[in-house]
Amino acid sequence: MDATKTLKSQCDAGCLHCGAPLTQKEGPGRLRQFCTAEHGRSWRRRMRHAGWL
Protein backbone atom coordinates (compact mmCIF):
# COMPACT_ATOMS: atom_id res chain seq x y z
CA MET A 1 0.00 0.00 0.00
CA ASP A 2 1.41 3.34 -1.06
CA ALA A 3 -0.02 6.01 1.23
CA THR A 4 1.01 8.78 -1.18
CA LYS A 5 -1.58 7.64 -3.71
CA THR A 6 -5.30 7.40 -3.42
CA LEU A 7 -6.79 3.96 -3.04
CA LYS A 8 -8.58 4.18 -6.37
CA SER A 9 -5.47 5.11 -8.33
CA GLN A 10 -3.94 1.81 -7.25
CA CYS A 11 -6.92 -0.25 -8.37
CA ASP A 12 -7.17 0.39 -12.09
CA ALA A 13 -5.82 -2.94 -13.30
CA GLY A 14 -9.14 -4.09 -14.74
CA CYS A 15 -11.54 -6.95 -14.22
CA LEU A 16 -10.00 -9.52 -11.88
CA HIS A 17 -11.68 -12.29 -13.82
CA CYS A 18 -10.97 -11.46 -17.46
CA GLY A 19 -8.70 -8.40 -17.31
CA ALA A 20 -11.03 -6.09 -19.22
CA PRO A 21 -10.27 -2.42 -18.47
CA LEU A 22 -12.63 -0.86 -15.95
CA THR A 23 -13.64 2.74 -15.54
CA GLN A 24 -13.68 3.66 -11.87
CA LYS A 25 -16.29 6.18 -10.89
CA GLU A 26 -14.88 9.20 -9.14
CA GLY A 27 -15.98 10.04 -5.63
CA PRO A 28 -17.10 7.82 -2.79
CA GLY A 29 -18.39 4.37 -3.41
CA ARG A 30 -17.19 0.85 -3.89
CA LEU A 31 -14.37 0.09 -6.30
CA ARG A 32 -15.31 -1.80 -9.40
CA GLN A 33 -13.21 -4.94 -9.64
CA PHE A 34 -15.14 -6.83 -12.31
CA CYS A 35 -16.60 -5.81 -15.67
CA THR A 36 -19.85 -7.62 -14.89
CA ALA A 37 -21.54 -9.00 -11.81
CA GLU A 38 -21.29 -12.43 -13.38
CA HIS A 39 -17.52 -12.13 -13.57
CA GLY A 40 -17.49 -11.18 -9.88
CA ARG A 41 -19.40 -14.35 -9.09
CA SER A 42 -17.15 -16.46 -11.30
CA TRP A 43 -14.01 -15.07 -9.69
CA ARG A 44 -15.26 -15.63 -6.15
CA ARG A 45 -16.31 -19.17 -7.06
CA ARG A 46 -12.84 -19.85 -8.48
CA MET A 47 -11.11 -18.43 -5.40
CA ARG A 48 -13.31 -20.51 -3.13
CA HIS A 49 -12.52 -23.67 -5.07
CA ALA A 50 -8.83 -22.81 -4.81
CA GLY A 51 -9.20 -22.52 -1.04
CA TRP A 52 -8.53 -18.77 -0.89
CA LEU A 53 -11.88 -17.80 0.63
> Least Å distance between CB 10 and Zn ion?
19
The closest of 26, 23, 1, 4 to 12, measured between CA atoms, is 23
18 contributes a contact to Zn ion by CB under 5 A: yes
39 contributes a contact to Zn ion by CB under 5 A: yes
DSSP letters along 2-34, please? -TTS-TGGG--S--TTT-----PPSSSSPPP-S
Which of 8/32 has CB closer to Zn ion? 32
Point out the residue whose Cβ comes nearest to Zn ion.
15
13 contributes a contact to Zn ion by CB under 5 A: no
